[in-house]
Amino acid sequence: MAHVVLKDLIKNYGSFNAVKSVSLTVNDGEFVALVGPSGCGKTTTLNLVAGLTSVTSGDILIGDQVVNDLDPKDRDIAMVFQNYALYPQKSVYKNLAFPLQMRKLPKDEIDRKVKEAARVLDMTQLLERKPRELSGGQQQRVALGRALVRDPAVFLMDEPLSNLDAKLRVQMRSEIKRFHQDLKATIIYVTHDQLEAVTMADRMAVMNGGYLQQYDTPAQVFANPVNMFVASFVGSPAMSLVPLQASTSNGSTFLTSAEGWQLELSPKNARKVAKASSNKVVLGARHSTIRLHKNAEPGCVPAKAYTVEPTGDITFVQAFLSGAIVNISVPPSVPVSPDEPVWLEFDQERLHLFDGETEMALRSE
């Protein structure tokens, strides 16, 4: 396997900037997910690495070799696509063997590689079947196997699970993660589903508008989003964001709503607010860090329940708070009705604060 380095990668289509100065390093054996909404530049970035799209400027290194001008076949990569791209008239065995035959490998070596890939992916019993005789998950496994037999330096995967139903997606997430762990493969994986990225990747690159917004471990991205976009994109349900006004009185710092309620901040959060470029501050909180009360309590702010979504072991309540929708999780034993007045208590140790002008996270250091 090999590491991959992107240096100030830019891709323009006329006046449209699809990828804007993206720089990142994928270490040898690392699983990196490129994640973001449609049109954010993640698939274009993957196609640049694959050589399917030409680079406007910047460099791509696979191993220690600059590959900008190499054809895809010379980059030592293997791609797994969204639509599987299997040959319908060929058996699974022949689908796996085809890329090796194109490289004119000896017949006994092809046979060995095909059977080893089938063993690794637990599909030895499928080798004589045609793609039409396979389930979606089995077809995706064949697509993985066809990439595996090539023994590439880097695996590139473009939304490989998006055609599967929800149950199969969960199963295939586990299989791809195990595939990575067993082979210690270098994988760059594109998805619009942040849950796939969080559950499978060693690191995730969150993209938006062609820019790399944040590149870190899923745990760090979840716990310390660098801006409001990342905060609202990563996590399910998304982080709640409430625009407020900051003020200081008698040595204490408060966040004030248009309705007039105030939330006094801890000294640590007050230091964060002091670094804002204006008095516009956005409060951010995950559903699990907010406590819902049925009556007014000290330190709580008034809200109104909007929707209630029981999911079995947990109930999600959406509430109106100062013009924003806030997600709260409560035990199923807590009865909440739509339009009911409720009071919300924020965990100050796990509160996120953002500059209302720049949308960047505010830090206390």
Q: Tell me the average pLDDT of the chain.
A: 92
Q: Which of 232, 263, 283 is the last residue of a domain?
A: 232
Place of tokens 């080893």: 116
Q: Do 76 and 162 have their domain in common? A: yes
Going from the C-alpha of 48 to that of each of 10, 202, 292, the distances in angstroms are 9, 22, 48
* pLDDT score recorded for residue 161: 84
Q: Do 226 and 246 have their domain in common? A: no
- In angstroms, how far is CA 264 from the centroid of its own chain? 34
Q: Which of 188, 203, 232 is the last residue of a domain?
A: 232
How many structural domains is the chain composed of?
2
Q: Which segment, 36-40, 76-80, 206-210, is predicted with the most confidence on average?
A: 206-210
Q: Do 163 and 143 have their domain in common? A: yes
* pLDDT score recorded for residue 295: 93
- In angstroms, how far is CA 325 from the centroid of its own chain? 23
Residue 207 has pLDDT above 90, yes or no: yes
Percentage of the chain exceeding pLDDT 70: 100
Q: Do 46 and 17 have their domain in common? A: yes
Going from the C-alpha of 252 to that of each of 256, 257, 263, 281, 283, the distances in angstroms are 13, 16, 10, 16, 17
Average pLDDT over residues 65-74: 93
CATH of the domain at 74: 3.40.50.300
Q: Which of 200, 232, 264 is the last residue of a domain?
A: 232
Q: Do 227 and 196 have their domain in common? A: yes
In angstroms, what is the C-alpha Rg of the chain? 25
Amino acid at the residue 123: M
Parent domain of 285: 237-355
Tokens of 238: 């998304």
pLDDT class of 81 with cuts at 50, 70, 90 = confident
| 360 in a structural domain | no
Residue 190 has pLDDT above 80, yes or no: yes
| 118 in a structural domain | yes
Amino acid at the residue 67: V
Q: Do 243 and 226 have their domain in common? A: no
| 363 in a structural domain | no
SS (H, E, C) 88-119: CCCCHHHHHHHHHHHCCCCHHHHHHHHHHHHH
Q: How many Å apart are CA 110 and CA 142, to the nearest integer?
A: 16
Residues contacting 261, CB < 8 A, separation 6+: 301, 302, 322
Q: Do 76 and 133 have their domain in common? A: yes
CATH of the domain at 284: 2.40.50.140
Question: 127 and 118 in contact (C-beta within 8 Å)?
Answer: yes
Q: Do 223 and 250 have their domain in common? A: no
Tokens of 281: 């501050």
Q: Do 176 and 267 have their domain in common? A: no
Residues in the chain: 365
Place of tokens 């625009």: 243
Q: Do 293 and 177 have their domain in common? A: no
Average pLDDT over residues 226-252: 93
- Sort 32 into a burial class: Cβ within 10 Å, 0-12 / 13-18 / 19+: buried
Q: Count Cβ neighbours within 10 Å for each residue of 9-20 and write b for 16 or more, e otherwise.
A: bbbeeeeebbbb
| 166 in a structural domain | yes
- In angstroms, how far is CA 11 from the centroid of its own chain? 22
| 361 in a structural domain | no
Tokens of 51: 């050589």
pLDDT class of 29 with cuts at 50, 70, 90 = very high
Q: How many Å apart are CA 185 and CA 148, to the nearest integer?
A: 10
Residues contacting 300, CB < 8 A, separation 6+: 293, 343, 344, 345
| 362 in a structural domain | no
Q: Do 92 and 225 have their domain in common? A: yes
Q: Do 212 and 311 have their domain in common? A: no
Average pLDDT over residues 271-294: 95
| 364 in a structural domain | no
pLDDT class of 170 with cuts at 50, 70, 90 = confident
pTM (two decimals)? 0.89
- Sort 72 into a burial class: Cβ within 10 Å, 0-12 / 13-18 / 19+: middle
